[in-house]
Amino acid sequence: MPRHEGQAKTAPAKARAALAEAMDLRRLGPEHSDLVADLERLCFPTPWNAEQLRQGMEQGSIRVYGVLAAGKLLGYLSYYAVGDEAEVVNFAVGSVWRRQGKGRALLGHVLQKWREEGIRVGFLEVRASNEAAIHLYTSCGFRQMGVRRGYYPETGEDALLLKLTLADLPGPVERTERRYP
């Protein structure tokens, strides 16, 4: 095999590693709505569009935190908060970045923000077939409290309704305002 062919196969891995070095977590604003909408289109069959996201962020009705590196959005989590409750709207990590701890770091960051905001209870729906997401959520303290039959209109798939009571967590949520490798 010629040398350049082997190098081509490792180049994407090296590029991802270099990008991960510069990664940070932060609250996203309306100026990020195009990036979030792009990731929405890649991850969801019925995505929000950039205008919907921009309006929600401008009005403060939706809060969005993201994992960014070199101007790229690797993942994000959006939620509504009313009183002492929050509901995750969407949580996505680009396929290249999954199973590398990016989603866990982002979720930990958001849970810390919830505590700072006085959120006591969080909710979310997850596809019953999404085993990786279910494992992540339950490992972070979410517990199943119900099933929404036929919740996803494009497939008719059920959603599991999960709940997190922040006071039930074993200790403080790890502060995640540092950069993540």
Identify whether 59 is part of a domain: yes
Instruction: Tell me if residue 125 is catalytic.
Output: yes
> pLDDT tens across 126-165, in order?
999 999 999 999 999 999 999 999 998 888 999 999 999 9
Domain coverage including residue 38 = 3-168
pTM to 2 decimals?
A: 0.78
Answer yes or no: is pLDDT of 181 > 50.
no
Nearest to 164 by CA among 129, 124, 132: 124
> pLDDT tens across 34-71, in order?
999 988 888 888 888 899 999 999 998 899 999 888 88
Which one from 65, 79, 125, 180 is the annotated catalytic residue? 125
Tell me, what's the pLDDT at 22?
Answer: 57
Q: Take residue 20 and report the two structure tokens written for it.
A: 């991960």
Identify whether 88 is part of a domain: yes
CA 110 to chain centroid, in Å, comes to 9
Rounded distance, CA 154 to CA 170, Å?
A: 38
Number of domains making up the chain: 1
Specify the CATH number for the domain of residue 8: 3.40.630.30
Identify whether 17 is part of a domain: yes
> pLDDT tens across 4-38, in order?
334 333 444 454 444 445 568 889 999 999 999 98
- Mean pLDDT on 87-96: 86
Which one from 79, 137, 157, 174 is the annotated catalytic residue? 137
The region of weakest confidence among 98-102, 105-109, 138-142 is: 98-102
Identify whether 177 is part of a domain: no
Strands 63-69 and 72-82: antiparallel
Q: Give 86's pLDDT tier (boundaries 50, 70, 90).
A: very high
HEC-encoded secondary structure of the chain: CCHHHHHHHHHHHHHHHHHHHCCEEEEECHHHHHHHHHHHHHHCCCCCCHHHHHHHHHHCCCEEEEEEECCEEEEEEEEEEECCEEEEEEEEECHHHCCCCHHHHHHHHHHHHHHHHCCCEEEEEEECCCHHHHHHHHHCCCEEEEEEEEEECCCCEEEEEEEEEHHHCCCCCCCCCCCCC
Strands 121-127 and 85-93: parallel
Identify whether 180 is part of a domain: no
Tell me, what's the pLDDT at 160?
Answer: 95
Identify whether 110 is part of a domain: yes
Q: Are 77 and 90 in contact (CB under 8 A)?
A: yes
Instruction: Tell me if residue 177 is catalytic.
Output: no
Identify whether 175 is part of a domain: no
> pLDDT tens across 161-172, in order?
999 998 877 654
Identify whether 174 is part of a domain: no
Residue that wins the pLDDT comparison between 181 and 84:
84
